[in-house]
């Protein structure tokens, strides 16, 4: 069985050349970007390919920060819940359409696996200048759309002998490189590790002046590299983080990720990691439940911000046979629920899907039509959270009647919640004609007595379908929902 977590993307390599021809006719071309001011010139490769100077992007978007002690990124100083995506493609033109959809859908940043254009290095470990410039054009395009980026420098399947990515890795000794086995990357202070870290340093120095870089991700799913254990994995990210911090004058936050159920309980305790990076792919397909449960668990265990790095209804490839939940007839309901669940989970971001955001581009049987289906799915959620100050928001304990499922986050002054028909579960996601007379009891911090609750349609995120004034009883507040179909969202504020 082909799975996402075995990442047997052999099909990608055979499909990419075909896709680049087929997709070029439908991709939107880049718009022009303002002239940029060079600061430092880096010669990127041993062949002395002329490099684009390290550039500082003009401010076309608000300032994003993650302050120590905060659990959400701030936009111009206000903590905010952000929508995000994983966009992908093997040509820069592929990103044009995806970034337009991202912007129009209300997402604020994208996570970019840098190996999408190849490994980015020569067989001696020097930065490939042409490769770097391709990524810089994507960064520029994102900036012109008002979006930030998180570059992902390393991905486990490039270091797995079980697939063709390792076979094409320039550092592989069979390609003239110095590396005999992938595990050498994680041997402390090995020549291979030093080589890769120097490559990393060169890129951070080259790109650190770009204002739309939100954070750095050292490596995706470290624990999936065959044979790597937690202690050398932690040492690797510690060294990489130290190099990034010395090279990045903006001191952006740093993360790295694990595949789920890694058993590496100390990895996220490392001071090298500023925020946790979860990848929920529940076997059950109950993605909304998994997001809420995992965000709650990680927040409680590590007391660090939680980012949903990537997620999906299934970890298996979207063209698998038999078909997975990813391409199920009513999968869009499950995706919608997952996005709304992220808002009330305590995680700092939402959407951040794997197949639906961009990676399906590599599979001709799904491809662009599948991606188009989810072009703006997060937009109602983005409208709902707009203007909300998430300062000191945390998951609130709630207890609901058996016919609804959901969660609430908030503080002593305001809270937001989302609940759905509890029977609307995969694989069919059935919907009742109406969900009636349901309640939720929320344990509220503070002492405020009276609260105003406003209920919203999840189809728009802005349409008000009812309101009520509720009164605290002890430490809790009980809310009665108006009748709804599928799901409902609400905002609570102190009634003055």
Per-residue pLDDT reduced to its tens digit, 448-484:
999 999 999 999 999 999 999 999 999 999 999 999 9
Query: Three-state SS for 138?
Result: helix
Fold of 10-385: TIM Barrel (3.20.20)
Percentage of the chain with pLDDT > 70? Answer: 88
Q: What's the CA gap between 99 and 61, in Å, rounded?
A: 15
pLDDT, tens digit, 9 for 90 and up, residues 188-216? 999 999 999 999 999 999 999 999 999 99
DSSP 484: B
10-385 against 394-494: fold identical:
no
Q: Which helix (H) or strand (E) holds 290?
A: helix 287-302
pLDDT for res 61: 60
pLDDT for 400: 94
Burial class (CB in 10 A: 0-12, 13-18, 19+), 404: buried
Looking at domain 394-494, which CATH architecture does it have?
Answer: Sandwich (2.60)
**Angstrom distance (rounded) from CA 156 to CA 5:** 10
Rounded Cα gap, residues 335 and 339, in angstroms: 6
At 6 the pLDDT is 45
* Residue 114 predicted with pLDDT over 50: yes
| Domain ranges (residues) in the chain | 10-385, 394-494
| 82-86: strand order across its sheet | 254-255, 216-220, 148-155, 109-113, 82-86, 349-351
**For the segment 385-397, what is each residue's pLDDT rounded down to a tens digit?**
999 999 999 999 9
Distances (CA, A) of 87 to 84, 116, 335: 9, 10, 17
Kindly list the distances between the CA atom of residue 243 and the CA atoms of 177, 229, 304, in Å, as whole numbers in the listed order: 23, 22, 22
d(CA 398, CA 396): 6
What distance in Å separates the CA atoms of residue 89 and residue 114, rounded to the nearest whole number? 10
> Are 310 and 353 in contact, with CB atoms under 8 Å apart?
yes
């Amino acid at each position: 069985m082909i799975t996402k977590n075995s990442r047997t993307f052999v099909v990608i390599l055979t499909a990419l050349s075909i896709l680049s021809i087929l997709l070029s006719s439908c991709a939107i071309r880049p718009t022009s970007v303002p002239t940029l001011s060079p600061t430092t010139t880096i010669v990127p490769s041993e062949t002395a390919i002329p490099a684009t100077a390290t550039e500082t992007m003009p401010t076309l978007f608000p300032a994003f920060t993650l302050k120590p002690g905060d659990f959400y990124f701030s936009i111009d100083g206000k903590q905010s819940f952000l929508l995000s995506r994983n966009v992908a493609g093997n040509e820069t033109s592929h990103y044009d359409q995806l970034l337009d959809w991202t912007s129009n859908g209300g997402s604020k940043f994208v996570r970019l696996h840098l190996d999408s254009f190849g490994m980015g290095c020569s067989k001696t470990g020097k930065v490939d200048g042409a490769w770097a410039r391709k990524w810089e054009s994507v960064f520029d395009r994102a900036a012109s759309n008002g979006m930030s980026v998180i570059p992902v420098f390393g991905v486990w399947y490039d270091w797995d002998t079980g697939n063709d990515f390792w076979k094409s890795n320039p550092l592989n000794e069979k390609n003239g490189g110095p590396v005999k086995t992938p595990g050498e990357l994680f041997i402390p202070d090995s020549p291979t590790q030093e080589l890769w870290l120097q490559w990393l340093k060169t890129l951070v120095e080259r790109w650190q002046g770009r204002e739309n870089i939100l954070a750095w991700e050292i490596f995706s799913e470290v624990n999936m590299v065959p044979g790597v254990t937690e202690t050398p994995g932690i040492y690797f990210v510690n060294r990489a983080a130290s190099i990034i911090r010395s090279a990045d004058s903006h001191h952006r936050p740093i993360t790295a990720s694990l595949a789920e159920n890694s058993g590496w309980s100390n990895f996220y305790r490392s001071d090298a990691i500023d925020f946790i990076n979860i990848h929920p792919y529940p076997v059950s397909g109950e993605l909304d439940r998994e997001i809420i449960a995992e965000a709650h668990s990680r927040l409680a265990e590590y007391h660090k911000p939680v980012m949903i790095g990537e997620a999906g209804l299934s970890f298996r490839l979207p063209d698998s046979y038999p078909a997975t939940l990813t391409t199920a007839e009513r999968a869009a309901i499950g995706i919608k629920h997952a996005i709304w669940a992220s808002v009330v989970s305590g995680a700092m971001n939402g959407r951040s899907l794997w197949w639906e955001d961009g990676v399906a581009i590599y599979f001709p049987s799904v491809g662009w039509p599948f991606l188009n289906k989810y072009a703006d799915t997060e937009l109602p959620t983005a409208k709902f959270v707009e203007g909300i100050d998430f300062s000191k928001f945390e998951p609130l304990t709630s207890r609901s009647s058996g016919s609804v499922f959901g969660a609430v986050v908030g503080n002593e002054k305001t809270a937001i919640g989302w609940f759905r028909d509890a029977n609307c579960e995969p694989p069919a996601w059935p919907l009742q004609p109406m969900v009636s007379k349901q309640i939720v009891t929320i344990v509220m911090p503070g002492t405020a007595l009276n609260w105003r609750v406003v209920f919203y349609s999840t189809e728009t995120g802005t349409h008000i379908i009812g309101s009520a004034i509720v009164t605290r009883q002890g430490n809790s507040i009980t809310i009665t929902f108006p009748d709804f179909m599928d799901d409902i969202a609400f905002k609570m504020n102190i009634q003055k």
